[in-house]
Amino acid sequence: MVIPESQIRALIRLLADEDEKIVQTISGRLIDIGPSAVPLLQEAEIEQPEMAERIASVLEEIRGSEASLRRTIDTIPALVSCFLPDGSNEFMNQRWHDYTGLSPEQSQGDGWREPVHPDDLAPLMNRWREARVSGEPGEIEARLRRHDGVYRWFLVRAEPRVKLGP
């Protein structure tokens, strides 16, 4: 099977989009763009070795850029997170972990909710849903529990990611 260069270019553009985790090819095949993307693409019998090498190179650049961005985000003097549409988290920066005392594993999924004051969780989630649905930024004040058990007020800002393209 020969994959046209235009399809490969479209795939590379999709690979660069952080919101996409699975790409569907023109033929309908689903390709996971995680670490297994390169073997899957090679399995697709690309008969253009230079394009396969190019895709592998682009994937490596994307992984390097992501690692660099995460290091940069960890240096920001704020608690930074990235949430999925279902409300579970995708990423919490190191300052979050240092402040809350929660490990990355403890903070995964819905674990990030644990240090939110019980009285503030529902209003926080409602405001987040409103921002996500409207696509507009939103903010609310909420208390977060520090690693020593003391709650502090934070201004929580939500900036919904808008998916570009088709």
> What is the rounded average pLDDT of the residues 45-59?
64
Domains located in the chain, CATH noted: 5-72 (no CATH), 77-158 (3.30.450.20)
Q: Each residue of 24-46: pLDDT tens digit?
A: 444 445 555 555 454 545 444 44
> What is the rounded average pLDDT of the residues 11-16?
50
In SS3 terms, the chain reads as CCCCHHHHHHHHHHHCCCCCCEEECCCCCEEECCCCHHHHHHHCCCCCHHHHHHHHHHHHHHHHHHHHHHHHHHHCCCCCEEECCCCCEEEECHHHHHHHCCCHHHHCECHHHCCECHHHHHHHHHHHHHHHHHCCCEEEEEEEECCCCCEEEEEEEECCCCCCCC
